[in-house]
Chain A
Amino acid sequence: MSVLTSGPRLREREYGADALIVCDNVVRIYQVDKIEVQALQGLDLLVNRGEMIAIVGASGSGKSTLLNVLSGLDDPTAGRARVADWDLQGMSSRDRLNYRRSVVGFVWQQTGRNLLPYLSAAENVTLPMAFAGIGKRERTGRARDLLDSLGMGAKSARRPAELSGGEQQRVAIAVALANHPDVLFADEPTGELDSATGEEVFAALRSANEDLGTTVVIVTHDGAVSSQVQRTVAIRDGRTSSEVVRSTEVDEHGDSAIIAREYALLDRVGRLQLPANFRKSLGLKDRVQLELETDHVGVWPDKDKKERTERSEEAGK
C-alpha cells in the first residue's frame, strides 16, 4: 500500500506537506534503444488543492513525462512524487487502479483518444463509474448532471462521431470528472481546437475547478490558456525554471487589472535558473559573482574575467 500513513507531526517536516501534488527532486531516465534520455532532472513542484495551473515548456522539456508520472502511468527513477495521499513511487498495480479510479481524471489532446467511438456521450461518462463498481442508478444520474453542467445534456445520446471537437472535449471532461477525482490532468486539451471552441473547453475546465473544486493541471502550448490560469509553471531541461503568478489588483481609481509576476524558482538545494534574456543582456555565463545585501542577493558578471578580457583586447590593439 502506497498511501501515506504518516501523522501530522511528520507532515510538518515534509516538503510541501500541505500541497495536493508534490514533486520532490523527481528524476526520470528513459531508455530509447541504446540511448538514455534524462527527461526529468530533479524537478520540484507543489500544487495546492483547488488550484488551476498550467505547465508550459518547449517540446522535449519534460512536461509530458511529468504528466505521466503524476498520472501514475510512469514511475520516477528517483525523487518523490505524491498526489493527495498517494505516494506514486512503487505503487502496486492494484494501487494504480484505485488511484486512476478515484484520484485522477484525464483529458488528452486527441479528441478521438478520449472517448470510445461506439458508445454515446452518456455511456462514455458512465463507463468510469461502471469500472469503479458504482450502481447503475447512481452513475446514470451523475452522468446526466455532469453533462448538463457542461452544456452537453441535450446531446448525451450522441456518439463521438456525431459531436464537434469542442463537444467531444467537453464530454471528455465529464468523463474525467465522473468518479469525483481530486485532480484533473489535461494534456493540450485545446490543441486541436479553434480559439472559440478552445475557449469553451477552457471554460468547462474552469467550471470543474471553481464549481466542483477539482484541482486542474493543464499541460499546454496555448498562450491563451496559460494566461488565464492562476499560475503557470515553466519547465526547462527537466526542471521547473520559472513561475508566473497572476493576481487581480485594484488601483486607486477602482479599476482592476490582472498583474502577472514572473518568478525564478529556487529549488530545495538553492539552485536557481536565470531567464535567458537576463543572462544575455548582462553577459552572464560560466561564472557569476553573488553579493549578499540586506534585502536581496546581487548577481554580477565575473569582474576578473571581464578585466582580463579587456586587457588582452587592448594588448591586441
Chain B
Amino acid sequence: MTTPGRTSLGRVLRSVLAAWPLVARRRARRDVVLLVAWTALLAFVVLLSLTAPRQLTVTIDRGARQAVAGAGSAADILIRVPVGVPGPGLPPVESPARVVGFAQGIERNLPAGIRQVYASTTTAVLGTPLSVTNTTGTSGLKSTQVQLGMLTPGNSKGLTVESGRLPRSGTVTSANAPIEIAVSAVDARAAGLHVGSILNVPTANGQTTPAGAPNSVLKVVGILGRGTSATANWLDTASVWTPNEPPTSDAVQALGITALTVPAGVTRASIEYGEQFSGYIRVHVNPERFSGEIESRVTDELTVLTVNSDALQDESGAPVTVSSGLGDALSAYPSEARAALAQMSLVVASLLGVAIAVLILVSRLVVLRRGPELALERARGSSLSSIVARVLVESLAVTVIAGVSGVGLANAIEPGPVENYTALLLALAVGLLASPVQAALLVRGQWATRKTPANHRDRLELRKRANARRVAAELTVLVLAVAAALSLANRGLLETATEGIDPFLAAAPLLFVLVVTLAILRLYRWPVRAIGAIGRGTRGALGVLGAARAERAVSALPLLALTLAVSLAVGGSVLIASVNGGQDGASWQRVGADARVDGPVSPHAIASISKHAGITAVGAAEVSVGVQVLFGTTAEFPTMFAIDRGFAGLVSRLPADSGESTDVTALRRLAVATPATVRLPVVVDAQLASHVGTKNISMVYGSKTIEMRVIGVTSVEPTGYEQGPFFYVDLDSLRQRLQQAGASDPGLSTPNTVLVMGPGATRAAASLGVAKADIQSRANWLRDRRQQALVEGTQQTMLLATVAVALLAMIALVATALAGARDRGRSLSLLRTLGMRSGLGWWLALAELLPVVVASLIGGIVAGVGMLALLEPSLGLRVLAGGESDPPTVVSPGLIVELAIAAVAVMAVAIVVEMLAYRRNQLSEVLRVGETV
C-alpha cells in the first residue's frame, strides 16, 4: 500500500527538474517554426518598446534644437559687466585688462544646464557714443559720434589692416600721447577719416586730462578691413562695420562710428573723460546639444540667472546682469512639445498595448497547441511547478534571444539610450511569463477539481456570485476609464509632462478600449443571433453552420487586441487628418489669402496684378495698428483696416473650412461713396462693438481727427496675422476725408497689406517688386509648418505606428484563426461525413472570424473617435495645426471604407494561413484522434 509521506528536498528537486532537458528540448525542436515566429514577434515588440519611446524623445529633442537654431543669435546669453578703472571708494568694475579673462572663465560659473549647451563665448567692450570734433577729417557732417570699442584677442583675429597699423599699448600708456584708435574702412569713408586723423573728445565736467590738456585726443592709426573675422565676434559691435545715424536732440543728421582701441586705451578713456564702458560677454549655445529635457532646465536656470546673477561674479565684485532672448525664442516650444508628446503618447501607448495583447495571444496559441500534452504530463504525475518550470526555461531562452535581437535592431535603426524602461521591461516580462502563466492556468483548469454544492440553491448562489464579481470588475474598469477621461479632459494640455510618455494619458486609451471591449462582449450576441436567424432560414447547410459558429466566435483577448489595433488606426488617422486639416485652415488664418504682401503697394500695382494669370481675387487695405478711437470720454486702440473695394470680395472667397468668417455683408456696405461732409462709415468687430455704446465715434489718424459713424458689426477678424479688435473703413472714403482735413502724408492712405487669391498668387505678389521677406505665401507657410520637427515627427510616429499596428493586427487575427483551427478541423471532418465539401473549410473560418473582425471594427471606430473627442483638450491639436482655435475632428467616410478593406484583407490572409497550416489534415485521422498528428 502506498502511503504518502514527506518527500526529501532532493526528490522534490528531481521531480521538478529531472524531465525538463528531455521534454523541453524535444518539444522545442518539434515546435521550432512556432517558436521562431514567437521569437520574431517578441523581438519586434522589444524593438517597438525601444524605438517608439525613442522616436518620441528624438522628435521632442529635434523640436527643441530647431527652436533654438531658429532663434539664431537671440538664443545667446548676454552677460553684461561694467568695465573701467577699479579704485577704492568706486563702484566695483572689471578692469579692461581682466575682462577677457573674466569672459574666458565664465563657463565654469554657469549653471549645469547651461554649461551643457555651452558652445563658445565672444567678448566685446563698448563705451557710450561721444561727440567728437574732427580736426582733420572732411565728413561734412555737423556732428560725429564715436563709440570706443576694445580690441580683444577674439575680435582682432582675422582682421586686415588696409592702411596704417593696429593701436599699440605702449604708445597709449603715455598720458601725453593720443589714444590710438583704428576704424573700419567703411566708417573711415563715412566720417572722412584717414590714418593720422585726430578726434578731440571733451573731458568729463570740463576738467583737464592728467596731462593737463583740455581734451582727450583720439588718433586714427589704422584703417581696417573685415578680412576673415567671424560675424559672431561683432554681434555687439556691429557699428564697427556699418556707420549709423544716431538720434540727436536738434534733429540734425549725425554720424555714428565705432573705433577700436587696446585695453590701455579703454583705461585712458575711462580716466580722462569718464567714459562708461560695458563688457558684453556673449555666451553662444549649441542648438545640437539641446533636448526637450535640457530646454526646460536651461529656461529655468536662465530665469533664475536674470534675477540673481551673483554666481557669475568674479573676485572683482563687478555686478553682472544677464539677459537672453532664449526664453522668448522658446516660449512656444513647451506647449508645442506637450501637444506633440500628448498625441504621440496616445498612439505609442496604444501600439504597445496592441503589441502586448498580441504577444499574449500568440503565446496562447503556443500553449493551446501543447494543451493535450501538458494535460498528459500532469496526468502522469508532473507537478504544476514542474510544468511551469519547463515552459519557463523555454520562455527564458526565447526572451533572451528576442531581447538581444530586438535591442540590437533598435540600436541599428535608432541608436540611443533606453528612454522608457517600463515599456521594455513590460515587453520582456510578458515575453517571459505569458507562456508559463497561460500553461499554468490551462493545466490547473484541466486538473483542479472544484466541488459543486449538492444543493440547487447553493449552486444558484454560486452562479449569482460569479456574475456579481464579473459585473463588479466591469464596473470598476468603466469607472476608472470615465475618471481617467474626465480628469484628462479637465486637466488640459498644460499639465502634461514633457519628459516622456505620460502614464496617465497613456492609460486612458487602453482603459477606454477595455470598456468598449467589455460592452461588445455583453452585446455582440444579440446582433449575431439576429443575423444567425436569417442565416438559418437560408437554403443549404452553410447558413446554419455559419450562424452556429458565429454565435460562439467572439472571445475577449482577440477582440481586445483587434479593437485596440483598430482604435489606434482610427485615432492615428483622425489625428493626422485633423491636424492636416487644421494646418490648412490655419494657413488661411495666418496669411489671409493665398498670398499676402506686407508693405506699401501703389493702387496701380494692385490693379495690375489682378490681371495676372491664375488670380481670382485681389484685396488691399491700409492697416494701422493701435489707432486711437474715441467714443464719448473713452478711447480704445484697435487695428484699422482701410479696405479697398476688392477686400470684401476676397474675404468672401475664403474656404468654409478655413475657420475664418466669410460673412462680408457689413463690409460690402462700406463700398458706397459718401460725401466728404458726412461722417466716415465704419464697421466694427464684435469686441469693439461691445465697448462702443454710440453710433458716432471718431479716430485720430496721423495728426487728423476723423469723425465716423458705425454702420454695422462684422465677424471678419483677421486675428491670424493682426491683433484685434478691428474696425473697417473704406479706403477711398478715408483718403477723401484726409484730403479734406488737409493731411499731407500720402502714405497714410496707401495700402500696406495686399491679399491675393488664386493659384498664381505667389508669382503675382512677387511681381510687385517688394522684398521677398514681405511676401507671405500660404503654400510656404504650410510647407514650413509641416517641416517643423514636432509636426513632422508626430505625423511620422503616427504613420509608423499605424503600419506597425496593421502588422500586429494581422498577426493577432492569424493567431486567432490558428487557435480555433483544430476545433474547426474536427467539425469540418464531421461535416464531411454528412456530405459537406472539404473546400468549404474557409466558410467555417470566415463564420468565426467575421464577427470578431466586425465587432472590433465597430468597437475600434467607436473607441478611436470617442477617445479623441474626450481627450481633445489634452491633445493640443491647435498648437500643432498652428491656427487660432482647435481644428475640427475629421472623420472621413473614406477612412471607414479603407479600414473595412484593410480588415477584409487581413482576414483573407488569416484564412489563407490557416488553410495552409492545416492542409495536411486527413479525414480519417481527425475523426479518429481529433487531429492529424
A: residues with CB less than 8 A from B are 1, 3, 27-31, 36, 72-75, 77-78, 84-85, 89-90, 93, 95-98, 100-103, 106, 110-119, 123, 127-128, 130-136, 161, 175, 179-182, 192
Contact = CB atoms under 8 A, between A and B. Distances in A.
A77 B459 CA distance: 11
Contacts of A77: 451-454
A128 B384 CA distance: 14
Contacts, number: 123
Interface string B359-380: 0000000000000110011111
14 contacts: A72-B449, A75-B449, A75-B451, A84-B2, A85-B3, A96-B449, A97-B384, A102-B2, A103-B2, A118-B26, A128-B381, A131-B15, A135-B14, A192-B928
B449 A132 contact: no
A75 B452 contact: yes
B825 to A, nearest CB: 14
A73 B18 contact: no
A41 to B, nearest CB: 11
B930 interface: yes
A116 B2 contact: no
Interface stretch (B4-12, B58-66, B114-122, B183-191): B4-12
B19 A127 contact: yes
B933 interface: yes
Interface centre among A111, A112, A134, A192 (most CB of B within 10 A): A112
A166 to B, nearest CB: 14
B14 A29 contact: no
B905 to A, nearest CB: 36
B721 interface: no
Contact of A31 (B3, B10, B372, B459): B459
B380 A175 contact: yes
B27 interface: yes
Contacts of A161: 933
A29 B13 CA distance: 38
Given A100-B381, A116-B377, A175-B380, A131 B386 contact: yes
B459 A36 contact: yes
Nearest to A74: B449
Interface of B: 1-4, 7, 10-15, 18-19, 22-23, 26-27, 29-30, 372-373, 376-384, 386, 447-454, 456, 459, 463, 928-930, 933
Nearest to B452: A77
A72 B4 CA distance: 15
B755 to A, nearest CB: 72
A95 B448 CA distance: 11
Contacts of A75: 449-452
A111 B15 contact: no
Contacts of B13: 133
A73 B4 contact: no
Nearest to A29: B452
| Ranked 3 nearest A-B pairs via Cβ | A133-B11, A133-B15, A101-B381
Contacts of A135: 14
A93 B378 CA distance: 12
Contacts of B29: 118
Nearest to B3: A85
B372 A113 contact: yes
Given A31-B452, A112-B933, A119-B23, A106 B379 contact: yes
B187 to A, nearest CB: 93
B459 A29 contact: yes
A90 B515 CA distance: 38
Contact of B381 (A85, A93, A113, A131): A131
Nearest to B16: A133
Contact of A100 (B10, B18, B379, B450): B379
A181 B379 CA distance: 13
A74 B448 CA distance: 8
B451 A90 contact: yes
A101 B456 CA distance: 34
Contact of B380 (A95, A127, A180): A127
B2 A130 contact: no
A117 B933 contact: yes
A121 B14 CA distance: 21
B30 A118 contact: yes
Contacts of A101: 381
Nearest to A132: B381
Contacts of B452: 28-31, 75, 77
A29 B928 contact: no
Contacts of A106: 379
B4 A133 contact: no
B380 A98 contact: no
Nearest to A68: B449
Nearest to B384: A93
A39 B15 CA distance: 35
Given A98-B4, A110-B929, 13 more contacts: A31-B452, A36-B456, A73-B449, A77-B452, A89-B451, A112-B929, A113-B372, A113-B929, A115-B376, A117-B30, A123-B22, A133-B18, A134-B14
B449 A180 contact: no
A130 B929 contact: no
A113 B23 contact: no
B551 to A, nearest CB: 12
B22 A119 contact: yes
Contacts of A136: 18
Contacts of B449: 72-75, 96
A1 B5 CA distance: 10
Contacts of A110: 928-930
Contacts of A96: 447, 449
A136 to B, nearest CB: 8
Contact of A116 (B4, B373, B463): B373
A103 B1 CA distance: 9
A8 to B, nearest CB: 14
Contacts of B4: 1, 3, 95, 98, 102
A90 B933 CA distance: 37
A260 to B, nearest CB: 32
B731 to A, nearest CB: 82
A83 B116 CA distance: 78
B377 A179 contact: no
B575 to A, nearest CB: 43
Nearest to B933: A112
Contacts of B14: 130, 133-135
B3 A130 contact: no
Interface centre among A30, A132, A135, A181 (most CB of B within 10 A): A132
Nearest to A115: B376
Contact of B19 (A72, A89, A100, A130): A130
B377 A130 contact: no
A131 B11 CA distance: 9
A175 B19 CA distance: 15
A91 to B, nearest CB: 8
A253 to B, nearest CB: 43
A130 B15 contact: yes
A127 B377 contact: yes
A179 B910 CA distance: 45
Contact of A131 (B372, B383, B459, B929): B383
B906 to A, nearest CB: 32
B41 to A, nearest CB: 23
A294 B452 CA distance: 45
A296 B1 CA distance: 40
Given A84-B1, A130-B15, A116 B929 contact: no
Contacts of B379: 100, 106
A128 B380 contact: yes
A97 to B, nearest CB: 5
Contacts of A111: 929
Interface centre among A95, A102, A133 (most CB of B within 10 A): A133
Nearest to A89: B451
Given A84-B2, A102-B2, A133 B12 contact: yes
B1 A27 contact: no
Given A132-B381, A182-B2, A114 B451 contact: no
A132 B2 contact: no
A181 B2 CA distance: 8
